[in-house]
Amino acid sequence: MAYHSFLLEPISCHSWNKDRTQIALCPNNHDVHIYKKDGTKWTKIHELKEHNGQVTGIDWAPESNRIVTCGTDRNAYVWSLKGEVWKPTLVILRINRAARCVSWSPKENKFAVGSGSRLISICYFEQENDWWVCKHIKKPIRSTVLSLDWHPNNVLLAAGSCDFKCRVFSAYIKEVEEKPGPTVWGSKMPFGEGAGGGWVHGVCFSHSGNRLAWTSHDSTVQSDLSVSLSSETLPLLCVSFITENSLVAAGHDCYPVLFVYDGTKGSVTFGGKLDVPKQTSQRGISARERFQNLDRRATSSETTEQGLESLHKNSISQISVLEGGKSKCSTFCTTGMDGGMVTWDVKSLESDLKDLKIV
């Protein structure tokens, strides 16, 4: 588990390139910085300056090597690498509030942007006009769209929003693709909806697209199965499937947590904390310390948790799968408000935390 501190500022969003040697991230300002891995060091190789507002979403398309960024300036840019320089192309999203999240579709012929204007913009490239065109999904979204995830069939899109609901939309664009086959989400243009008690921060399809899970601000993890899991932690901000049956989620508690999705029992259950710090040696507690604890915390217990013992020192805002895809993930990465990035290795987690079972 390597912790690398990029900046002192929060990392607003990040995205990796195809071979995971470069990372594009936003250091809480109007730019996007691209860092390249040099052994164990990271060097900044590009600065993408075009946005007039904070960049809220970055997605790097692995096959076509294009980066799409969206920001609070209500614009999105598609960047292509020409030689050694990244050149932006403006995409007019026709929104009147900030864009919040962006995601390339699996075939990379379109991307979706969620915004504060209570709609999702699906953008695709029109060859004749050499221009990115966007279509809106408006009904029945009632508030800001916070998170998006595409289904592997390139047509379905799950969106989590501040109106407490997670919905599955059809983002079928007839100019760009043919009609999709039936899925578990309905055979014609399907439309599913799940309600929760808080803003839906993170949403994720499983690798096959048959399962959907989302985290919400009332500290619950819900899935397309009926029962929701009330978590004992602070709200989780991001979630990702790492196998067909396991999810990793992370949030304001600064450590990732494992959940097990059990199709047969129809529930999601808590699997374990994924960041157990090494136990420091137990030293005897002096009488003075006991009184101090009693004064400060009304208990004379021995645990002196001076600071956070997790790797991240502030909320984790984004989680991304590095190796293995969503079906057999072997490494994943988290970035957070402490400006740091941690890469987690699934095998070593399984061996370190003995009762952890990643099914």
Asked if 222 and 230 count as a contact pair (C-beta separation under 8 A), the reply is no
Residue entry with tokens 């860092």 = 35
Query: Which of 62, 198, 272, 324 is the binder for another protein (CB under 8 A)?
Result: 198
Residue 259 within binding range of another protein, rule CB under 8 A: no
At 99, the amino acid letter reads A
Shortest gap between Cβ of 254 and another protein (angstroms)?
13
Shortest gap between Cβ of 221 and another protein (angstroms)?
10
Asked if 32 and 67 count as a contact pair (C-beta separation under 8 A), the reply is yes
Q: Which residues pair with 90 in a beta bridge?
A: 77
Query: Which of 160, 194, 202, 235 is the binder for another protein (CB under 8 A)?
Result: 235
Query: Which of 80, 143, 304, 351 is the binder for another protein (CB under 8 A)?
Result: 143
Asked if 92 and 106 count as a contact pair (C-beta separation under 8 A), the reply is no
Query: Which of 12, 219, 223, 243 is the binder for another protein (CB under 8 A)?
Result: 219
Quick one: 163 or 244, whose CB is closer to another protein?
A: 163
Residue entry with tokens 């607003």 = 12
Quick one: 235 or 340, whose CB is closer to another protein?
A: 235
Quick one: 183 or 233, whose CB is closer to another protein?
A: 233
Residues numbered 149 to 168 that lie near another protein (CB under 8 A) are 163-164
Quick one: 219 or 320, whose CB is closer to another protein?
A: 219
Residue 269 within binding range of another protein, rule CB under 8 A: no
Residue entry with tokens 């001076």 = 306
Shortest gap between Cβ of 249 and another protein (angstroms)?
12
CB neighbourhood size of 12 (10 A): 22
Residue 201 within binding range of another protein, rule CB under 8 A: no
Output the six-digit token pair for 354: 């003995």
Asked if 13 and 318 count as a contact pair (C-beta separation under 8 A), the reply is yes
CB neighbourhood size of 161 (10 A): 23
Quick one: 219 or 246, whose CB is closer to another protein?
A: 219
Quick one: 5 or 269, whose CB is closer to another protein?
A: 269
Residue 230 within binding range of another protein, rule CB under 8 A: yes
Q: Strand 99-104 to strand 267-273: parallel, antiparallel, or no bridges (unpaired)?
A: unpaired
Asked if 54 and 30 count as a contact pair (C-beta separation under 8 A), the reply is yes
At 45, the amino acid letter reads I
Q: Which stretch binds another protein (CB under 8 A): 21-29, 66-74, 212-220, 301-309?
A: 212-220
Site track 93-132 with another protein (rule: CB under 8 A), x = hit: -------------------------x--------------
Shortest gap between Cβ of 232 and another protein (angstroms)?
3
Output the six-digit token pair for 183: 């899925």
Please give the size of the binding site for another protein, defined by CB under 8 A.
Answer: 17
Q: Which stretch binds another protein (CB under 8 A): 43-51, 123-131, 206-214, 233-241?
A: 233-241
Residue 223 within binding range of another protein, rule CB under 8 A: no
Q: How far is it, in rounded angstroms, from Cα 194 to Cα 191?
A: 10
The DSSP element (H or E) to which 297 belongs, if any, is helix 287-297
Shortest gap between Cβ of 3 and another protein (angstroms)?
24
- Angstrom CA distances, 146 to 238, 298, 317, stand at 11, 40, 12
N-term to C-term CA, the chain: 21
Provide the binding-site residues for another protein, judged by CB under 8 A: 118, 142-143, 163-164, 197-198, 217-220, 230-235
